[in-house]
Amino acid sequence: MSYKTVIALDAMGGDNAPSAIVKGAVLAAREDIKIILVGDENKLKTELSQYGMDSSRLSIHHASEVITMDDSPVAAIRSKKDSSMVVGLKLLKEKEVDAFISAGSTGALLAGGTFLVGRARGIERPALAPLIPNIKGFSLLIDCGANMDAKASYLAQFALMGSIYMESIMGIPSPKVGLINVGTENEKGNQLTKEAFSLLEKSDINFIGNIEGRDISMGVADVIVCDAFTGNIILKHTEGLALSLFNIIKEELMNDNLSKIGALLSKSAYKRVKKRFDYTEYGGAPMLGLQGLVVKAHGSSNAKAIQSAIAQAVKFKEEKIVEKIEEKINQKINQ
């Protein structure tokens, strides 16, 4: 039989591989999708044996090697040809699958996504676009990928791809797109953002103009556009600062007995706060602008996060995101 969507999983990537990846696949299994676990056949068979799942919907594609966090990303993609990541990316390139999901090395996945999977027609550079939490929900931060010295035209394409993704996958009509800058006035910024601003102004997305660092967490924009250097630092600073703040609060709450009792009573509030920052709900970071979808799942993904990433990939296929991106990008080019 033929399936509407076929998804390959890097069963060996991430802190909890292969068990969390296999469990996530079992949780996500549906009649109309096929999931291929890429990795060590023996290990995966052992994992799978506990679930008694129909092998037609959940199959194994053997790959003998694993790219680890200690490997140099680009070198590993070139040399470890039988790694679960390279084999999975090649399945995507050859259109055997619609999407490839990995919780392994971000650097290797970016390099592999760029070198092994073809770009969508008209796309200059693919981009990695994680969702980051804000006071209202989440924003898409695009680009956090490998394009270290970006051009304004890349940023304009990122804005468009991010807008399509947030509308079609996250269900936000006419997503607000903001350009990260040092001030909100039109003429602000460095050479890159000044040029990007004038391109974005002319585009037909819902461009709300420049946004500042303090707007990121306020949820001012649904799509936050920046170069990958800036995006990488925003993303990791968000993680680091949130973690530090939680640690500082915990430390102070444990520092006197009354506060300790208070913390105990407030436990359910803290649980709700934590839930608002829970990445496992929304899958992973899509790498946009490729032929098909590559998803970077969080390194510490549990089964639920993998399940969400699979749901995200299914929707990506159903909503024909690659086709939508190509259509919009090439409309622009031909104008």
Do 5 and 33 touch, CB atoms closer than 8 A? Answer: yes
Instruction: Tell whether residue 75 is a contact of a copy of itself (CB under 8 A).
Output: no
Closest-CA residue to 87 (of 33, 3, 7, 8): 8
Q: At what angle do helices 152-168 and 321-334 cross, to 10 degrees?
A: 140
Task: Choose the stretch contacting a copy of itself; rule: CB under 8 A; options: 216-224, 307-315, 318-326, 327-335.
Answer: 216-224
Do 301 and 284 touch, CB atoms closer than 8 A? Answer: yes
The distance of closest approach from Cβ of residue 152 to a copy of itself in the complex, given in angstroms and rounded to an integer, is 13
Q: Any idea of the CA torsion for 180, 175, 135, 181, to the nearest 10 degrees? A: 10
Task: Choose the stretch contacting a copy of itself; rule: CB under 8 A; options: 40-48, 50-58, 238-246, 320-328.
Answer: 238-246
DSSP structure class, residue 71: S
Structure tokens belonging to residue 164: 């399509």
- Comparison of 204 and 239: residue with beta carbon closer to a copy of itself: 239
- Comparison of 248 and 331: residue with beta carbon closer to a copy of itself: 248
Question: Taking CB under 8 A as the rule, which mask of x and - marks residues 141-160 in contact with a copy of itself?
Answer: -------xx-----------
Among 56, 268, 334, 335, binds a copy of itself (CB under 8 A): 268
Among 42, 45, 248, 300, binds a copy of itself (CB under 8 A): 248
- Comparison of 70 and 94: residue with beta carbon closer to a copy of itself: 70
- Comparison of 53 and 235: residue with beta carbon closer to a copy of itself: 235
Instruction: Tell whether residue 70 is a contact of a copy of itself (CB under 8 A).
Output: no
How many chain residues bind a copy of itself (CB under 8 A)? 59
Instruction: Tell whether residue 265 is a contact of a copy of itself (CB under 8 A).
Output: yes
Of residues 273 through 292, those in contact with a copy of itself by CB under 8 A are 273, 276
Task: Choose the stretch contacting a copy of itself; rule: CB under 8 A; options: 21-29, 44-52, 118-126, 186-194.
Answer: 186-194
Residues in Cβ contact with 216 at an 8 Å cutoff, skipping those fewer than 6 apart: 132, 134, 139, 180, 224, 234, 238
Do 148 and 229 touch, CB atoms closer than 8 A? Answer: yes
Stated as kind and residue range, the H or E segment containing 82 is none
The pairing of beta strand 223-225 with beta strand 99-102: unpaired
The distance of closest approach from Cβ of residue 90 to a copy of itself in the complex, given in angstroms and rounded to an integer, is 26
- Comparison of 94 and 251: residue with beta carbon closer to a copy of itself: 251
Exposure b/e, 28-63, CB count within 10 A at least 16 = b: bbeeebbbbbbbbeebbeebbeeeebeeebbbbbeb
Return residues touching a copy of itself (CB under 8 A). Answer: 107, 134-135, 148-149, 180, 182-183, 189-191, 193, 212-218, 227-230, 232-245, 247-249, 252-253, 255-256, 258-259, 261-270, 272-273, 276
